[in-house]
Chains A and B, each alone.
Chain A
Amino acid sequence: MSSPTSPARADASLDGATLSVQVAGDWSITAPRPHWPATLAGRTPQRVVLAGAGLGQWDSSVLLFLFETQQWCRIAGVHCDTKALPEKIHALLRQMSASHETSVPFDRSENFFTSVGDATIDVWRKTRIFAHFIGECVLGVMRLLKHPRKFRWADFVEEMQLCGAMALPIVSLVSFLVGVTLAYTGAIVLRQYGGDIYVADLVGLSMVREMGALMTGVVLAGRTGAAFAATLGNMKANEEIDALETLGIPAVDFLVLPRLLALGVMMPLLAIYSNALGILGGMAVSMKVLSIPPTAYWVELLTIVDLSDLLVGVIKAVVFGLIIGLAGCLRGIDAERSAAGVGRAATSAVVTAILLIIVADAIFAVAFDILGL
């Protein structure tokens, strides 16, 4: 309501055992108002009579005062007479008492066994969704091979642009700095033994076999994986995915495969680019700090890094790309239909992708060692 012109008052007068309380003035919820303990002022009436003859403008704040009074009377066993209140206030006060009595807090707490049971069911549900999603993707790829013209080539190219070309600046910066960091770290030890030149080997091998694919994977998990999850999550919330399904168009074919393949193609390219930038970073440090000429750095690098190392990095990058795409799309499609659900899906996509990338990287390390690569 509009701003009060005369302040809210609760005038109380004791007549024998009866306390008459007259609420008056303008009561606004945003302005200070009288409270019952101050109005009662330590008196001990047997009966409280509430009246509102002098009431000006009022809103819910007067209800709060009257309700507070009623509650006190109920607890103290004092009769509370509200008949003299205006009918509208009387009705609202009845509603407030009723809502207070019937409103029971919704208990969301769970006991330990329920939590464990729910968590187990959730793990099983997620496993089934994951298996179903992977199966759908495999079927989608088979449909793509059978009917390549039906594939969303335009979306595929656009996604390659978004997750590949648009990621170049951040990949450049991260990779160059990783190369610089590796070179500095290596130089500390190698310089002590007069093996400065081996900085090239350290940087080259680390970037090509490991860090190029790994850092690009981490960057794209944060950048592209989250974007996939948010986009698909929003589409699910807007029922766009339901619309595709009811048209008989598999959401995987329409939304997931173009993204997945775009990442599968762009990740190895970005990883190779990342290798180059990392090596360049190492070269810059070697030149400035260790005074190694670029030619010597390059020649030394070629003695240790060969095509099999490059292949290792590229294989990893392809797998990391598919992991990021799968995690992003799965989380997006499985998102809850709300703003919070979309946020959780994006976060979960990034966490899942990075976790799986590290797990896959460890598996690769063991596998390539066994294969002698």
Chain B
Amino acid sequence: MSDPAIPADPPAIEVSGLTCGYDGTTVLKNLSFSVKRGEVFFVIGGSGCGKSTLLRNLIGLHVPLAGTVRFLGQPFTHADLAARRAMLKTFGVLYQGGALWSSLTLRQNVALPLEEYTPLSPREVGELATLKLAQVGLTGFEDYYPSEISGGMKKRAGLARALALDPSIVFLDEPSAGLDPVTSRKLDELVLQVRETFGTTLVVVSHELASIYGIADRVIMLDRAEQGIIAEGLPRELAERSRDPRVIDFLHRGDRAPVK
């Protein structure tokens, strides 16, 4: 029987009244927004505005000071351990540096969530890990250790691991940071391909304008002084129509040149 508290087609993520911070310092106050299923949703803003803090609160690495987060209609923030573990299976996270386990090969890195959460045989786990690595263009590198590959490859391997369980939602923390434009673009294309193939919802924390204009369906912009959202919408529309100088400055790289 379905839970009557959960609507028939809930958004992928629903954040209401979220306040987060560290050691008594509030970083973000009373944030509310939702992310539709299959959307490529960007959280943007200048350095230190709380993008990564928001991400850490969304994925449960920090407990919010107030407010709730719901994934696919189910409450996550204060869920009990079993419910939380079940929900963790439905999302994947790509960390800034890839966060690959250095003692494991790329195949073993991707295989670990499969071994933990699925009834698959070791052979099937290996086949699937190979496929996931192939999807991110790392065929031939399955048995390499993270220390033996480049930064861009680490990010792609991190994405393969995030996609291992075919999650409904994938969070990406600064996926383009430190990458050359070509690799960055390839990663963007990969993000779109993942959405296209599996209908995955993607939440991207970034301040890379090329990615924002290239693949974002919708963005929210955070501001440090405001401790919250100062703009929400399509990136190009915001760049052209917003009257907020902070939004205009950010989306025009400070020179207010027209968006190409």
Q: Flag if B103 contacts A340 (CB, 8 Å).
A: yes
- Whole-angstrom CA separation of A271 from B120 in the bound complex: 58
Q: Flag if A88 contacts B197 (CB, 8 Å).
A: yes
Q: Flag if B143 contacts A106 (CB, 8 Å).
A: yes
B139 touches which of A99, A108, A341 (Cβ 8 Å): A99
User: In whole Å, how far is B79's beta carbon from the nearest beta carbon of chain A?
Assistant: 15
**Which chain B positions have C-beta within 8 A of A108?**
143
Interface residue B49 (Cβ < 8 Å from any Cβ of A): no
- Contacting B at CB under 8 A, from A57-73, are 59-60, 63-64, 67
Closest to B196 in A: A88
**Which chain A positions have C-beta within 8 A of B133?**
99
Binds A, one of B122-130, B182-190, B217-225: B122-130
User: In whole Å, how far is A87's beta carbon from the nearest beta carbon of chain B?
Assistant: 11
User: In whole Å, how far is B128's beta carbon from the nearest beta carbon of chain A?
Assistant: 6
User: In whole Å, how far is A37's beta carbon from the nearest beta carbon of chain B?
Assistant: 12
**Which chain A positions have C-beta within 8 A of B117?**
30
Closest to A63 in B: B131
User: In whole Å, how far is A101's beta carbon from the nearest beta carbon of chain B?
Assistant: 10
- Whole-angstrom CA separation of A324 from B90 in the bound complex: 49
Binds B, one of A90-98, A153-161, A193-201, A226-234: A90-98
CB contact under 8 A between A106 and B142, given known A2-B90, A64-B120, A99-B130: yes
**Which chain B positions have C-beta within 8 A of A98?**
134, 139
CB contact under 8 A between A30 and B140, given known A2-B168, A60-B128: no
Closest to A5 in B: B2
CB contact under 8 A between A106 and B166, given known A1-B198, A64-B127, A88-B197: no
Interface residue A144 (Cβ < 8 Å from any Cβ of B): no
Contact with A along B139-183 (1 / 0, CB 8 A): 110111011000000000000000001111000000000000000
Contact with A along B109-125 (1 / 0, CB 8 A): 00000100111100010
Binds B, one of A206-214, A296-304, A331-339: A331-339
Interface residues on B, range: 20 to 34
Interface residue B54 (Cβ < 8 Å from any Cβ of A): no
**Which chain B positions have C-beta within 8 A of A104?**
140
**Which chain B positions have C-beta within 8 A of A43?**
none
Interface residue A77 (Cβ < 8 Å from any Cβ of B): no
Interface residue B229 (Cβ < 8 Å from any Cβ of A): no
Interface residue B47 (Cβ < 8 Å from any Cβ of A): no
Interface residue A103 (Cβ < 8 Å from any Cβ of B): yes
Q: Flag if A100 contacts B166 (CB, 8 Å).
A: no
Q: Flag if B142 contacts A103 (CB, 8 Å).
A: yes
User: In whole Å, how far is A371's beta carbon from the nearest beta carbon of chain B?
Assistant: 49
Interface residue A32 (Cβ < 8 Å from any Cβ of B): yes
User: In whole Å, how far is B14's beta carbon from the nearest beta carbon of chain A?
Assistant: 15
Chain A: residues with Cβ within 8 Å of the partner, total of 29
- Whole-angstrom CA separation of A96 from B131 in the bound complex: 5
- Whole-angstrom CA separation of A95 from B132 in the bound complex: 10
Contact with B along A273-298 (1 / 0, CB 8 A): 00000000000000000000000000
- Whole-angstrom CA separation of A341 from B135 in the bound complex: 30
Q: Flag if B165 contacts A102 (CB, 8 Å).
A: no
Interface residue B62 (Cβ < 8 Å from any Cβ of A): no
User: In whole Å, how far is B132's beta carbon from the nearest beta carbon of chain A?
Assistant: 8
**Which chain A positions have C-beta within 8 A of B135?**
95
Interface residue A80 (Cβ < 8 Å from any Cβ of B): no
- Whole-angstrom CA separation of A216 from B144 in the bound complex: 42
Contact with A along B208-252 (1 / 0, CB 8 A): 000000000000000000000000000000000000000000000
User: In whole Å, how far is B108's beta carbon from the nearest beta carbon of chain A?
Assistant: 12
B127 touches which of A29, A67, A88, A92 (Cβ 8 Å): A67
Interface residue A42 (Cβ < 8 Å from any Cβ of B): no
- Whole-angstrom CA separation of A141 from B159 in the bound complex: 49
Closest to A337 in B: B147
Q: Flag if A64 contacts B144 (CB, 8 Å).
A: no
Q: Flag if A29 contacts B120 (CB, 8 Å).
A: yes
**Which chain A positions have C-beta within 8 A of B147?**
336-338, 341
**Which chain A positions have C-beta within 8 A of B134?**
95-96, 98-99, 102-103
Interface residue A105 (Cβ < 8 Å from any Cβ of B): yes
Interface residue B89 (Cβ < 8 Å from any Cβ of A): yes
Closest to A28 in B: B166
Closest to A104 in B: B140
- Whole-angstrom CA separation of A102 from B131 in the bound complex: 11
Q: Flag if B130 contacts A100 (CB, 8 Å).
A: yes
Q: Flag if A96 contacts B127 (CB, 8 Å).
A: yes
Q: Flag if A106 contacts B144 (CB, 8 Å).
A: yes
User: In whole Å, how far is B93's beta carbon from the nearest beta carbon of chain A?
Assistant: 17
B131 touches which of A2, A95, A341 (Cβ 8 Å): A95
**Which chain B positions have C-beta within 8 A of A337?**
147
**Which chain B positions have C-beta within 8 A of A100?**
127, 130-131
- Whole-angstrom CA separation of A212 from B229 in the bound complex: 63
User: In whole Å, how far is A34's beta carbon from the nearest beta carbon of chain B?
Assistant: 13
Q: Flag if A102 contacts B127 (CB, 8 Å).
A: no
**Which chain A positions have C-beta within 8 A of B18?**
none
Q: Flag if B140 contacts A103 (CB, 8 Å).
A: yes
Q: Flag if B139 contacts A338 (CB, 8 Å).
A: no
- Whole-angstrom CA separation of A106 from B197 in the bound complex: 30
Q: Name 8 extra pairs, CB < 8 A, besides A95-B135, A105-B142.
A: A29-B118, A92-B197, A98-B134, A99-B133, A99-B139, A102-B139, A103-B130, A103-B139
A-B contact pairs, 5 of them (CB 8 A): A2-B90, A64-B120, A88-B197, A95-B134, A337-B147
Query: Which residues does B use to contact A, with CB under 8 Å?
Result: 72, 89-90, 102-103, 114, 117-120, 124, 127-128, 130-135, 139-140, 142-144, 146-147, 165-168, 197-198
